[in-house]
Structure formats: C-alpha cells, structure tokens
Amino acid sequence: MPNEYMTESGDVWDLISWRVYKDEAFISQLINANPDKRHIAKFNGNVILKIPDMPEAVPYSAINMPPWKR
C-alpha cells in the first residue's frame, strides 16, 4: 500500500478512503494522519496526503459485544 496519495481535483475524504482502502470507513484514520488538512472538504489536485497502514480487522463477534466483554 502506498504511503502517500496525490489528490485529484474534486477528491473528498470518503472517495480517497475508497480508492486507497476499498472502504469508506477509514476516513478518520486519513484525517488523523493529515491534521493540517482536516479543514479541507473538497481537495484541489496535487495535494499530497499521508496514508497510514490499514488498521487490523476486528473480528465480527467483537464488534457486536458490549465494550466490557471485548
């Protein structure tokens, strides 16, 4: 997985997450890795973003458990 992503004009966080991770669920990881750009809703082209490694998958059963049982 690349460590950087160069935006295209019109990119938004969820689209970038989909292009990089094939899942929109990792928007917060992208924003947290690029705090200086968190205010941008729609990107211009050629903005370099840091791309963190995909978080480890949480087993489905753990997602459905209350926090005190995880």
- pLDDT, one tens digit per residue, over 41-58 is 999 999 999 999 876 665
Q: What is the number of structural domains in the chain?
A: 1
CB 44 within 8 A of CB 10: no
Q: What is the pTM of this model?
A: 0.75
Extended strands (E) in 1-70 = 4-6, 48-50
Which pLDDT does position 59 carry in this prediction?
A: 56
Amino acid at 27: I
| Structural domain harbouring 9 | 4-69
Which pLDDT does position 65 carry in this prediction?
A: 65
Average pLDDT over residues 17-33: 92
| Both structure tokens of 8 | 């295209």
